[in-house]
Structure 1
Amino acid sequence: MNIKKIIPILEWLPNYTTSRFKGDFIAGITVGIILIPQGIAYALIAGLPPIYGLYAALVPQTMYAVFGSSRQVAIGPVAMDSLIVAAGVSTLALTGSDSYIAIAILLALVVGAIQFLMGVFRLGFIVNFLSKPVITGFTSAAALIIGFNQFRNLFGVDFVRSNQIQYVIKDVWNNISTLNTHTTILGFVAIIIILSLRKINKKIPNALIVVIFGILSIKYLGKSLFDVAIIKEVPSGLPSFSIPEIDFQQIRELLPIALTLVLVGFLETISIGKSLEAKQDEYRIRPNQELIALGLGNMAGSLFKAYPTASSFSRSAINQESGGTTGMAALVSVAMVVITLLFLTPIFYFLPKTVLAAIIIVAVFGLVKVKEGIHLWKANKLDFSLLLTTFLATLFLGIEYGIFVGVGMSIIILIFRTSKPYIAVLGAVPDSDFYKNSERFKNVIIEEDVLVIRFDAQLFFANASYFRDNLDDLAEKKGKALKLIVIDAESINRIDSTGVEMLIERINFYKKKGITVYFAGVKGPVRDTLFRAGILNSIDINHFFMNIFTAVKFYKTGDREHQIKYAEYIHHTYK
């Protein structure tokens, strides 16, 4: 057993150098500066007191630095997961209450346990069922929901909180006239500052600057801005150790939202991890190890009052851009949060909630991928429909339903595509040994007595009938002149028992009609399956050819030179 695979920090820590530490230190400080105001803001999205955003930035980050396979991913509270937490927990308890907080912490334990078990049993492949259009549609809709839910803090109006956008928009429309002028102006000034600083240089810590701006505004213009809601008291000190109260009834109720968080958190981590991986050649992302690291982070975090966490797209990118190359950068960020919790929390007393809303709104609206939707509309209508369906389902049914609609649609499209793959009729290219698709190459020669078809997929139970029906239709169009069918199997990489039975049945069917069936370019594993299933009881071993040209030539001229060699090779292999 390779201990370094289980504990990836051992891959880089023994050879760690001071030159690396300089880059990690700067990156850790930079990410920490952004993480602290974001953590406070995201806790508000989750319906939790601000301090819990900082608690969520401690243990999960530390655990990931030790067990994560990526050395640059930044773990902690994130906007999307925070909204999912709010959507799920708010149905079980009053937002902000002690019971609500306890359930959110229990949710972290449940999410972590599922992630850990998935990693141990190597179930990371599940993420493959979430295609890029599903991810884009889900993220874009979730971003809009998060943004619109922050209008309550941006405008200073107690709008309804919901993960179904139609209810939020309706309430905003009905009550926008009651907005708090001071709150709204301060919030929009913060948005303008953030956007302006981004245009100047994306590396400028705009979140920190507007936080300082907001605190100073309230502190020195407090009399004029007396009606602006502020954070107020933020407790000092590190979170105490406590085991979440296990309530199996609550766990059952939390399972749908927990599974959503597992999928979304894993997706976020893998997506950003893969993009960072491509920019270096020192390490590789291991999906199952990522699940284990996320699981351990969430489980251990729940023992220290953390709610569910995942990787942050923005903080991970900043970590890499600032020179972070190992998990040491994450540990530096943790140290900054510890210092803040011990000594700096009183500073945030005057922090306006509208400034936090501004930070969140600018961050999440950047996740709405309009250009991706336009590109898919032009490039692939089916993928666009998948994106649109996921987007609308998430937007109007809720985040927890949107992700499952996306997964369901992905599976349906996968089944549709594999059940009706492309079938091509091939013709001979003049003066060559090649055969090409007759629909794409108009100059190919199609002979009356020969039908050459290519099936571009695995042949299994879901498409065996489709293959048979198309073969019969094409053979019928040839009429009585047809004497030879050549199945180009070069694109068939797998075949199951249903596919084999269908082929044997068709071979026998056409044999009675005086039509011979040849196979060309059959891959070794497919040929193994065919032979084990007894296809040689219906067809001669000499009816398998290296390519189409040899098969047709053998049929026309009886030239056995190449075929004898190939048949001898097959016979030697299977005798």
Structure 2
Amino acid sequence: MFRKWIPAIDWLSNYKKDDLSSDLQAGLIVAIMLIPQGMAYAMLAGLPPVVGLYASTIPLLIYALFGTSRQLAVGPVAMVSLLVLTGVSTLAEPGSQEFISLALLLMLMVGVIQFLMGILRLGFLVNFLSHAVISGFTSAAAIIIGLSQLKDLIGVKLEAGKDVFKILGESVMRVGEINPITLAIGVISIVLLVIFKKYIPKVPGPLVVVVLSIVTVAMLNLHTRNVNIVGEVPGGLPVLSMPSISIDAMVALLPIALTISFVGFMESIAMAKAIAAKEKYKVDSNKELVGLGLANVGGAFFSAYPVTGGFSRSAVNYQSGARTPLASVITAILILITLLFLTDLFYFLPKAVLAAIIMVAVYSLIDIKELKYLFKIRKLDAITWIITFIATLVIGIEQGILIGVVFSLLVFIWKSAYPHMAELGYVEKIGVYRNISRYPSAKTREDLIIYRLDESLYFANMSFLEDKLCGLVADKPTTKYIILDFSAVNSIDAVSIHALEEMIENCQAGEITFLFSGVKGPVRDLLKKADWDSKYKGQYEYHSIQEAIDDIS
């Protein structure tokens, strides 16, 4: 029973000593990467840097117990951090005690939502977030994230909020106020991070940049020349505390909590499945929701903020040799040690460096290659990407993804209401029936129309089928038989059955007989319930088009 709910029992009971060195190495490398990232992402979320370290401890330990991915690295990520800032800043001033309290409540809500989705096996709901929507959303959000850090990069307190156009405009207007030392630190940090990432990937670039910048600021006393530094980072372990629960606050935070729950899980499950496929094991989407949900619920009681599995850290964790979730446990322990003994070392860390770490990290999220690919394959998906991207960039984070989802669903409904259908003819060369528009040599008969439906039938697309058939009959007045190929029809509703019956009766009155081939079992069961055995006995039992033709020849 416990094995079913606690996946850690399996990997702990079967742990191999040979995996320990690899897990230790991966845990150390991810911890080195996560310490500066966690602090940077907490600042992006409008929270004190230490909250990012808190979010990198207890949630990791909980996920290691309840998650099904062996290599997924859970913790603060840029996207979720921006969503936290977006949702909570409408209710409280970023950095204030009320803001921190609401962030804890938001984390609890996200955890409960994800946990309930997992328990109720609702993981399939994330399928409604199409890849085009997610790609367009993350690309726009990456730009918003990057520009939101401009104030720390240039050392000017911008008042434009999260509106990218206002940020750019205000930055241009206040170019004379830029702190050249801060800007130099930020630009040099970006250059170094890019060099390490591109040419020396095995070296933890963020840690190197953090150490160099701290030493430089401390030795040259740059903090006395208006270079903003992190300052005192509270030491000690995260203390057990109760999130302040308010019905009004929960109602106000619900939209952003749902967004984080879905978007965070999408990012997490995509990476988890990609690694699992390479390592030949399976991750359970619903158990992943339970694991992430419990990680967020637990973190809410230890001064953290919403977490999920991150792309870059998970990739580093995997490439560094992580074999089991013990690597994440080691990462969490190392960060706890940092909280106990090493927080004083971050006093002189320039905020410009944290801004640079965020900017470089989110740059890869701008997925122009995906847009080009979508244009090449299917323009409608590319339009979905563009609409989501523009809506997110211009209107807002929450509204952008909502508009993208609604548009993608409208596209789906439109496609199902106007499905692909084809008139078929016999291709002698290969001995099969094919679409006559693709195979002009396919042979047809003057008294026969063979029509294939490539979609399930329901109330919204029946009139489209009727219009198509009426048009074909009008063009071919000698028609005596219509064979409907139902091999691609997986389901049918009562309205469609009734409409089919009306069409059959009207056509039979005009001396056209309907025959059905390839009707699948579930569809046939519904037709039997509609008394087709007595109404149209022998007209819908054909296994193939040829069988139906042989019967009327």
TM-score range, shorter chain: over 0.9
Does the aligned pair in 1 maintain the 2:209–2:353 contact within 8 Å? Answer: yes
Match of 1:430 among 428, 431, 434: 428
Find the counterpart in structure 1 of residue 109 from structure 2.
110
After TM superposition, the runs of 4+ consecutive aligned structure 1 residues lying more than 4 A away are none
Counterpart residue identity of residue 509, structure 1:
N
RMSD over aligned CA atoms reads 1.3
In structure 2, stretches of 5+ residues that fail to align are none
Find the counterpart in structure 1 of residue 504 from structure 2.
507
Match of 2:315 among 311, 314, 317: 317
Q: How far has the Cα of 1:432 moved from its partner?
A: 5.8
Pick closer, same or farther for the CA change 1:199–1:542 going to 2, 3 Å. Answer: closer
Q: How far has the Cα of 1:555 moved from its partner?
A: 1.0
Q: Secondary structure at the match of 2:278?
A: coil
Once residues 91 and 429 of structure 2 are traced to their aligned partners in structure 1, the CA distance between those partners, rounded to angstroms, is: 75
Counterpart residue identity of residue 375, structure 2:
W
Instruction: Encode CA deviations 1:487-521: one digit per residue, 9 max, x unaligned.
Output: 01111111111121111111111110111111111
Find the counterpart in structure 1 of residue 527 from structure 2.
530
Q: How far has the Cα of 1:285 moved from its partner?
A: 1.4
Once residues 223 and 339 of structure 1 are traced to their aligned partners in structure 2, the CA distance between those partners, rounded to angstroms, is: 29
Pick closer, same or farther for the CA change 1:466–1:159 going to 2, 3 Å. Answer: same
Q: How far has the Cα of 1:93 moved from its partner?
A: 1.0
Does the aligned pair in 1 maintain the 2:160–2:170 contact within 8 Å? Answer: no
Once residues 540 and 303 of structure 2 are traced to their aligned partners in structure 1, the CA distance between those partners, rounded to angstroms, is: 69
Q: How far has the Cα of 1:344 moved from its partner?
A: 0.3
Counterpart residue identity of residue 89, structure 1:
V
Q: Is 1:182 the equivalent of 2:181?
A: yes
Further displaced range: 481-490 or 8-17: 8-17
Q: Secondary structure at the match of 2:18?
A: helix
Q: How far has the Cα of 1:110 moved from its partner?
A: 1.1
Q: How does 1:42-81 map to 2 (within 5 A)?
A: 42-81=41-80
Q: How does 1:462-501 map to 2 (within 5 A)?
A: 462-479=460-477, 481-501=478-498
Tell me how many residue pairs correspond in the alignment. 553
Counterpart residue identity of residue 421, structure 2:
I
Find the counterpart in structure 2 of residue 571 from structure 1.
none
Once residues 430 and 90 of structure 2 are traced to their aligned partners in structure 1, the CA distance between those partners, rounded to angstroms, is: 70
Q: How does 1:96-495 map to 2 (within 5 A)?
A: 96-160=95-159, 162-222=161-221, 226-281=225-280, 283-430=281-428, 433-479=431-477, 481-495=478-492
Find the counterpart in structure 2 of residue 559 from structure 1.
none
Counterpart residue identity of residue 455, structure 2:
A
Instruction: Encode CA deviations 1:90-113: one digit per residue, 9 max, x unaligned.
Output: 111111111111111111111111
Instruction: Encode CA deviations 1:167-214: one digit per residue, 9 max, x unaligned.
Output: 222222222332110000111011111111122232220010100111
Counterpart residue identity of residue 233, structure 2:
V
TM-score (norm 2): 0.98
Q: Secondary structure at the match of 2:455?
A: coil
Q: How far has the Cα of 1:293 moved from its partner?
A: 1.0
Find the counterpart in structure 2 of residue 563 from structure 1.
none
Identity across matched positions, percent:
44
Does the aligned pair in 2 maintain the 1:87–1:162 contact within 8 Å? Answer: no
Once residues 370 and 530 of structure 1 are traced to their aligned partners in structure 2, the CA distance between those partners, rounded to angstroms, is: 48
Pick closer, same or farther for the CA change 1:324–1:432 going to 2, 3 Å. Answer: closer
Q: How far has the Cα of 1:523 moved from its partner?
A: 1.2
Does the aligned pair in 1 maintain the 2:223–2:348 contact within 8 Å? Answer: no
Q: Secondary structure at the match of 1:35?
A: helix
Q: How far has the Cα of 1:431 moved from its partner?
A: 5.9
Q: Is 1:520 the equivalent of 2:517?
A: yes
Counterpart residue identity of residue 439, structure 2:
F
TM-score (norm 1): 0.94
Q: Secondary structure at the match of 2:195?
A: helix
Q: How does 1:547-562 map to 2 (within 5 A)?
A: 547-556=544-553
Match of 2:541 among 541, 544, 548: 544
Once residues 294 and 328 of structure 1 are traced to their aligned partners in structure 2, the CA distance between those partners, rounded to angstroms, is: 16
